Amino acid sequence: MSKFTSTAFGRKVGAGLKATGANTSKPIAQKKEEKKGADAVEGHDEWLHGKPLIKPLDQVELTETELEEEITRTLSANNPHAPQNIVRYSYKELAFKPVTVDHLEVHFVLEGNLMYLEASQEYRLSEALHEDTTIVETGAQPDEERAKIQETPTTDEEEVDEGGEEDRPDSEASKTDKKEPKLKNQFSFCERASQTLTNPLRERGCQTEPPPCRTFCATANQSEIYDAYVEWLQAQEKNKEKQKGVQSKRDDSSKRTVLMESQTDELPRLTKAAKILERMVNQNTFDYIAQDFKYYEDPSDEFRDQKGTLLPLWKFQCDKAKGMSVTALCWNKKYQDLFAVGMGTYDFCKQGPGVLVFHTLKNHSFPEYIYTATSGIMCVDIHQQHSYLVAVGFYDGHVAVYNLKKRGEGEPVYKSTAKMGKHTDPVWEVRWQKDDLDGNRNFCSISSDGRIVSWTLVKNELIFTDILRLSVTVSVSDVQGGGQQVSVDVSGTSFDFHKQIDHLFLVGTEDGKIHKCSKTYSNQLLKSYDAHNMAVDAVKWNHFHSGVFISCSSDWTVKVWDHAAHTPLFIFDLHAPVGDVAWAPYSSTVFAAVTLDGIVHVFDLNLNKFEALCQQAVVANTVKLTHIEFNPIYPIIIVGDERGFVTSLKLSPNLRKRPKDKKGQVLPNVVELEIANMEKLVHQQREPEKNTV
């Protein structure tokens, strides 16, 4: 192979020398063809020899079954090496924005040179290609060969031949040198270029003069506030006298009306500011009471052996209710510092008007709302969800609903009439119920006429529905000595609805009996209890246990009942007529009662089943206590008396004990724990009865 190559190369060199000596102006294209032929001779027998396989040293040798096994691999379009946390600052939104990374990877690109003949850029591209080819062909000759060609002499024949070749129209040189004209579409051709400018960011700022300031310092008390009110009232009276005494022109009258309108617009803002200022003055004046309410805990409870005390806080009264008694108390469930007080009298021979008053713990000197009525108020209840709706029962048998949002109106928004089924006797209790299926609000009432009525608020009137009529069948002897059965209405004095079962309720009567009733059975009593020897003043379900309720009467007793038994679980003799009783909202075994001798009794059945933990006189012996209510959140109670005063009292720590969390012991839910405590008491009281039977 090497000899053949050298021989060929020698022949090639010799032929080249002869050609050079004979004619040095041999064309360059012929030289290129000879070079290509020599290269072909060198590699003409390479296809006879097979190419050896080169294997790496660490290649794994596989069997035929492993080689035939198909392995499936899935290719995803996402680039695993692409960054995910690239952000760029956006000058338009003035924040950093994430940049979406392109997952496209280009492995092979081949640019083609094919084009459509109809394309508008055909001539420009063809011209550019022709120019490139001419430049390449003319610039491919080296400088040495150009010099040799210039040095070698040429004959006339060769010049004639070359000149003839150049002048031929079909020669390659004439084709390459000939420039084709650049044609453009003269009808639709348009060459345009534009570039939009980015709007520069601009910052603008402005500066204003500061408002004038003035330092003012003063002190205010109740007398100064009162003097300011008096001056304002005197100024109003003077304005009224001027308007009546002077008859001015129309212009003057229009100016005065505008002035009065501005005064009426400013009046609500003035009253709101005065109310806030009055609260601040009262809280500063009686700061020691507010501190006791918030922080004071009686330290002597540690040495009293489960006994407790009541700390007097604020005392509330209303000047418009002088000579009246507190006939109803009710806390607002949404605003826990606000409570309603019904004013009337229990002396039925001296009946007069009534007053509905709303007090707050934030200001005890003056009520928040005052509503006067033509008849004495005997009961009050505030809606739990809609705290601005207040249901009221009157001594003359009417029921009404007040809306606290309409402060300017002193009249109720709903009131029963004789045509719309009002009671004929005093209304002793009202209770709000859940909305009916149509979404209308409704409440129930009980009266001495023996009717239990449901009132529905529809548009601007109250629609009544009789739920139950209390009656007793009595045998009456006639003149001939024969007996006759006659039904007599029984006066209802109190009632309370079940906390979980909406249709179940208890009714206390004037003859001392308690009836368990249901809305679904309007003409039938589910159960009756011989509870007391005198009228039942109050009956209330337990807040936690669904089967326990409590009752009190003027026969000096308070009784705790299990609704499944006819006999009471506990009987407590308080040595005086009992006016009211109430369960504590924080415990299932704590309740409190008030007696007509001015003493408050607080019991905790879980600690002592036989006597009260606290017996404290909060008023003089000659003053009778009428009602009591626990606050739903704060550890205080309010007590009303026959003079129209409401006294707030704070419970000492022994009266509101709660289970402590022992180490390593998980306490159950508070509600479940309270139910278990009451259930334990019920079981302990019923076991001896079963053993005796």
Per-position DSSP letters for 230-274, written without gaps between them: HHHHHHHHHHHHHHHH----HHHHHHHHHHHHHHHHHHHHHHHHH
Q: Considering the domain boundaries, does residue 253 fall inside one? A: no
Distance CA 559, CA 551 (A): 5
Residue range 330-355, pLDDT digits in tens = 999 999 999 999 999 988 888 889 99
Whether the pLDDT of residue 37 is over 70: the answer is no
Q: How confident is the model at residue 20 (pLDDT cuts 50, 70, 90)?
A: very low
Which range has the worst mean pLDDT, 18-32, 499-513, 663-677? Answer: 18-32
Evaluate whether residue 454 is within a structural domain.
yes
Give the pLDDT band (50/70/90) at residue 217.
confident
Q: At what angle do helices 250-285 and 222-245 cross, to 10 degrees?
A: 170
Neighbours of 294 (CB within 10 A): 9
Give 149-188 as a 3 state SS string: HHHCCCCHHHHHHHHHHHHCCCCHHHHHHCCCCCCCCCCC
Question: Is the model's pLDDT at 281 over the cut of 70?
Answer: yes
Residue 534 lies in a domain: yes
The answer to whether residue 94 sits within a structural domain is no
- Residue 207's SS3 state is coil
Counted residue by residue, the chain has a size of 693
Give, in order, the Cα–Cα distances in Å from 102 to each of 77, 78, 96, 386: 10, 9, 19, 59
Range of the domain at 588: 308-474+485-686
pLDDT digits (tens, 9 = 90+) for 99-111: 888 888 888 888 8
For 445, phi then psi, to 5°, come to -145, 155
- Quote the pLDDT of residue 380: 95
What is the spatial order of strands in the sheet that 492-497 belongs to?
492-497, 504-509, 513-518, 527-530
Lowest mean pLDDT, pick from 100-114, 350-364, 582-596: 100-114
Q: What is the domain count for the chain?
A: 1
- Read off the tokens for 174: 């004439």
Give me the mean pLDDT over the 369-384 stretch: 92
Q: Which two tokens stand for residue 637?
A: 């109670």
- In this structure, are strands 504-509 and 492-497 parallel, antiparallel, or unpaired? antiparallel
Q: What is the distance between the alpha carbons of residues 527 and 529, in angstroms, rounded to a whole number?
A: 7
Q: What are phi and psi of 18, to 5 degrees?
A: -60, -40
- What pLDDT, on the 0 to 100 scale, is given for residue 574? 92
Distance CA 503, CA 521 (A): 9
Q: What is the pLDDT of residue 268?
A: 73
- Burial class from Cβ neighbours inside 10 Å (0-12, 13-18, 19+) for residue 86 reads exposed
CA distance 292 to 298: 10
Q: What share of the chain is helix, strand, coil (3-state, %, to 5)?
A: 30, 25, 45
446/391 Cα distance (integer angstroms): 13
Report d(CA 182, CA 124) in Å as an integer.
Answer: 7
The model's pLDDT over 492-530, given as tens digits with 9 standing for 90+, comes to 999 999 988 888 999 999 999 999 998 887 777 888 999
The string of pLDDT tens digits covering residues 390-444 is 999 999 999 999 999 887 667 899 999 888 888 999 999 999 999 888 889 999 9
Q: Is the pLDDT of residue 159 over 50?
A: no
What pLDDT is recorded for position 5?
A: 38
- Mean pLDDT over the full length of the chain: 79
Nearest to 646 by CA among 249, 309, 312: 312
Quick: pLDDT tens for 597-652.
999 999 999 888 989 999 999 998 888 999 999 999 999 999 999 999 999 999 99
The better pLDDT of the pair 87, 666 is held by: 87
Element of type H or E holding 138: helix 122-138
Model-level pTM greater than 0.75?
Answer: no
Q: What is the secondary structure of 524-545 as a DSSP string?
A: --SEEEE--SS-EEEEEE-SS-
Average pLDDT for 357-363 = 92
pLDDT of residue 584: 93
What digits encode the pLDDT tens for the residues 473-488?
Answer: 766 665 455 566 667 7
Local confidence band at 173 (pLDDT 50, 70, 90 cut-offs): very low
Percent pLDDT > 90 in the chain is: 33
| In-domain check, residue 663 | yes
Q: Is the dihedral of CA 653, 654, 658, 663 positive or negative?
A: positive
DSSP of 276-322, one letter per residue? HHHHHHHHHHTHHHHHHHHH---GGGGGSSS---EEEEEEE--GGGT
Residue 605 maps to a domain: yes
- SS3 readout for 383-418: CCCCCCEEEEEECCCCEEEEECCCCCCCCCCEECCC
Q: What is the band of 692 on the pLDDT scale with cuts at 50, 70, 90?
A: low
Confidence at residue 161, expressed as pLDDT on a 0 to 100 scale: 43
Do residues 541 and 494 lie in contact, with contact meaning Cβ atoms separated by under 8 Å?
A: no
Residue pair 427/397 in contact (Cβ under 8 Å)? The answer is yes
Whether 637 is in a domain gets the answer yes
Per-residue pLDDT of 296-326, as tens digits, reads: 888 888 888 888 999 999 999 998 888 899 9
Res 532 pLDDT > 80 = yes
> Residue 454 belongs to a domain with what CATH number?
2.130.10.10
**Banded pLDDT at 85 (limits 50, 70, 90):** confident
pLDDT at site 81: 82
Which sign, positive or negative, has the C-alpha torsion 166, 172, 173, 177?
A: positive
Residue 563 inside a domain? The answer is yes
pLDDT of res. 478: 52
Residues 519 and 655: beta-carbon distance below 8 Å: no
Instruction: Report the Cα 419 to chain-centroid distance in Å.
Output: 45
- Is-contact 60 86, C-beta < 8 A? no
CA dist 286 and 281 (Å) reads: 9
